Amino acid sequence: MTRVALMAAFTAVAAQITIPLEPVPFTLQVLAVVLTGLLLGPRYGALAMGVYLLVGAVGVPVFAGFRGGLGVLFGDTGGYLLAYPLAAALAGMAAGAVTNAPRRRALVAGFLWGGLALVAIYALGATWLAVLAGLSPGAALAAGVLPFVVFDLIKVGLATLVAVAVAPAIAASRA
């Protein structure tokens, strides 16, 4: 449970490293969500993101721009946030490979599952943005996905590299 709390706190910190773009800010949350899944696995990764969302929902300013509350969670960018437990669970599907597989296989698995997690974030986030902001699907993709793809793929890659480097040590500490 300590690791769950630590990764929820790490996500809150990553949310504050932001470039305020409209309607979706640029943050390091994707890195945190994918890293959480890769390190904790699907169940505890999703739990960590659920804790993060719950803390933010009750008003603690853990979301981007030191904001919190249900208004943020159910606002235009809420779909991205609500996708985090699913995304962490998807990335977590590679946790076993990241911990135990040879380095090349671990890197490929981490990046592929992390990329799938990113797709889940984009799918729910852009759909939510389109509905709440009254945007066409194309406009929602142009505003809430396309400006971020390259940078988010870099974040997935960084999360994978970090996870492959530290996961074996974390696994050894459990034994």
State both tokens at 164. Answer: 């492959």
* Contact by Cβ (8 Å): 13, 35: no
Look at the block and give the residue holding tokens 């300013």: 61
Q: What is the DSSP string of 33-56?
A: HHHHHHHHHHHHHHHHHHHHHHHH
What fold, for 2-174?
Answer: Arp2/3 complex 21 kDa subunit ARPC3 (1.10.1760)
Residue 21 pLDDT: 73
Q: Which of 101, 3, 108 is nearest to 45 (CA)?
A: 3
Question: Cα(110)–Cα(95) distance, rounded to whole angstroms?
Answer: 8
Residue 175 pLDDT: 62
Model pTM score: 0.93
Residue 169 pLDDT: 84
Look at the block and give the residue holding tokens 């959480």: 36
Residue 18 pLDDT: 83
* Contact by Cβ (8 Å): 89, 37: yes
The pLDDT profile of the chain, 175 residues, written as one tens digit per residue, is: 899 999 999 999 999 998 877 777 789 999 999 999 999 999 999 999 999 999 999 999 999 999 999 999 999 999 999 999 999 999 999 998 998 889 999 999 999 999 999 999 999 999 999 999 999 999 999 999 999 999 999 999 999 999 999 988 887 777 6
The domain ranges of the chain are 2-174
